[in-house]
Amino acid sequence: MGNIKTMVNSTVPYFILSTYINVGSLKYLFFVLIALLYFSIVFVNTSLIVVICVNRSLHEPMYMFLCSLFVNELYGSAGLFPFLLLQILSDVHTVSAPLCFLQIFCLYTYGHVEFCNLAVMSYDRYLAVCYPLHYKSHMTDNKVVIFIVVIWLYSFVKFTITLCLTLRLTCAPLQLCGNIINKVYCDNYSIVKLACSDTTVNNIYGLISTPLAILCPVSLILYTYMRILKICFSGSKQTRQKAVSTCTPHLASLLNFSFGCFFEILQSRFNMNSVPSMLRIFLSLYFLTCQPVFNPLMYGLTLSKISLTCKKLLCADM
């Protein structure tokens, strides 16, 4: 299977995902485990979205941004898990070109929305900690809606341009020289590397858009946390406690997601053949599988308003 390739200047009807390992009957065990993980992700994220929406006491900017974050976890998971479950049970690991590009769009926009959402949440925490008296006037309901709409719209438009540039490489006469992707899911950069034609336009756009997509949110996050730390060191004990309680889950989520993205970028750009296959698969899936579980558990357990509301609902049901 590893030697199957399309001829130069021929249309690629499907891609082959070469990283899948033949594990025999163990595939059924992996299927059950991944299905349980997906069910858990859907359940906890949906539950918290419902809790935030139905409780008026949680209709605050921080919880609205959290709601957007949880919706994004469901969106990203829907782009990966059903596909992954089908591939685990299949003996031939191929995917049609349209479905492959659809998955690429879902996963990349998920990552961008996640990062931007976390950046806006850091700005929200900065206003809450540094300007508590003016917080409500700075972060109004209208501004929250605008922030959320801009995050999603900007991410979709930005990656639509990237995807159009990649699709251009697959159309005549600029077609692909191969159809093997060394991943367990479809990846934009892997397809660009298969191009027979010149990819200068893709590379230039990538060199401009990628740093902007990373530097803008990172700059905002670094600035806000530097200001929060300054307030913590110079403020009262109560201010420090408030900052720690509200910023800890956000910082943990940010570090967890950044860790996963770092390894994914590392694998995409460098030869990782010396790394064991199972470890490579785990690291490539880390930011797509762990973040959707990590976020709802972290915020649900550490934010007192959410945890108390969940406990009241559970007690009411009992």
Give the pLDDT confidence of 106-143 residue by residue, as tens digits.
999 999 999 999 999 999 988 988 888 888 888 999 99
**Structural tokens at position 252:** 């943990």
Mean pLDDT within 195-206: 84
Enumerate the H helices of 139-199 as residue ranges: 141-170, 188-193
pLDDT at 317: 57
Mean pLDDT of 210-216: 81
Cis-peptide into 296, omega within 30 deg: no
* Model pLDDT for residues 2-26, shown as the tens digit of each residue: 444 444 445 668 898 888 877 778 8
Rounded to whole angstroms, the Cα distance separating 118 from 126 reads 12
Residue 83 CA to residue 81 CA, distance in Å, equals: 5
Distance CA 30, CA 11 (A): 34
Residue 9 pLDDT: 45
Q: Per-domain residue ranges for the chain?
A: 14-315
Note whether 135 and 62 are within 8 A (CB).
Answer: no
Q: What is the pTM of this model?
A: 0.89
If pLDDT is split at 50, 70 and 90, which confidence band does 174 have?
A: low
- How much is the average pLDDT of 288-310? 85
Task: Pick 14-315's CATH classification: 2.60.120.560, 3.50.90.10, 1.20.1070.10, 3.40.50.2000.
Answer: 1.20.1070.10
Find residue 95's DSSP bridge partners.
15
Residue 49 pLDDT greater than 60, yes or no: yes
Task: For residues 73-84, give the mean pLDDT.
Answer: 95
Q: How far is 301 from 307, CA to CA, in rounded Å?
A: 6
pLDDT at 316 (0 to 100): 62
272-277 average pLDDT score: 74
